[in-house]
Amino acid sequence: MKKIHHPAGIAIVLILTALPALAQSDFIVFPHVADGYFGDGTAYRSTLTLTSWSADEVYCAADLYGMDVDFGTGRSTAFDIIIPQNGFVSVRTNAELPMQTGYMTLDCDSDQVYGQLSYASYDLYDFKTGEATVFPTAVQYSEYRILADHRDAAQLGVAIANTTDQETVYDLTLLDYDGTVINTGQISVPARSNTAAFLSQLLLPPEAPGSVYMLEIASRDFSLFSAIGLQYTGQVFTTVPAN
C-alpha cells in the first residue's frame, strides 16, 4: 500500500480543480481509468482529484482493477489517500508503461468527499491534445442509458465496469427518440474488470452515421455496475454521463 498526502503546490492540476466535483459519498467508482503510451508515441494520463468538506482529516482506500499506476509514490494497484480537513488531493499518473485501462474504487471514512477523474491525451511531443473529466458513480444501478450523438462525424465510446465477483452479460439496446428499438447486442465482462469500446464495435451492423440515439445497457442478472460514455469527434473528446 502507498500513502499519498496533500501535494502542496502542484500547479499542473489547478485548472482541473476548477471543474465541478461531483458524487459525494463514502464509496465511489470510476468506471474507466486510462494511463500509458501507444506505439506511435501518443499517450493518456489520468488525474484523480478528491475534495473534502469534512472538519477532520479523511482517509480513503483506492483500489485499481485491471491495471496498476504510479500516482507519484510508486506503481501499485492500491493506495491509501489522506485528504486534509477541508482540503483536497490531486495526483496524476505518469504514462511510463504501454497503454493500460481499468476501473477504480474509493472507500473513504467520510461521506463529505467529492471526486472526479480527468484524463488527457498527449501527442508524441508530450503536448496535450484533448482532455475530459469523468465523474464517479456514487450509487450503482443495474441499468443505464447513454446518449449516442453521432452528428458531425462523432462516435460514442462506452466503458462498463463489472464490480461483482462473477462474469456478467450486459444487454445493449439502441433506441430511437420515441423508444423504437433500432438494434440490440450484448457484451460479457469478466468479474472485477472493465471493458471499453466504440458503439460501432459493440453493435453490428452499426447505427446510421450522423444520427442521435439512446443506448440502454442492462445487466442480465440485475447485478449492479458502473458505466460512462465518451464522445469522440476526431481527436477531441468529452464525457457523456450515464443516467
Q: Which CATH architecture has domain 2-134?
A: Sandwich (2.60)
Q: Which CATH architecture has domain 143-240?
A: Sandwich (2.60)
Q: How far apart are CA 88 and CA 53, in angstroms?
A: 9
Q: What are the extents of the domains in the chain?
A: 2-134, 143-240
**pLDDT-above-70 percentage for the chain:** 89
Report the pLDDT value the prediction gives residue 137, as an integer from 0 to 100.
83
166-185 pLDDT, tens digit each: 999 999 999 998 999 999 99
Report the pLDDT value the prediction gives residue 25, as an integer from 0 to 100.
60
Question: Please, what sign has the CA dihedral across residues 134, 145, 163, 157?
Answer: negative
What mean pLDDT is predicted for residues 6-30? 45
Cα distances from 22 to residues 16, 44, 51, in angstroms, run: 13, 22, 10
128-155 pLDDT, tens digit each: 999 999 888 878 999 999 999 999 999 9
190-213 pLDDT, tens digit each: 999 999 999 989 997 767 778 899
pLDDT at 76 over 60: yes
Q: How far apart are CA 33 and CA 205, in angstroms?
A: 28
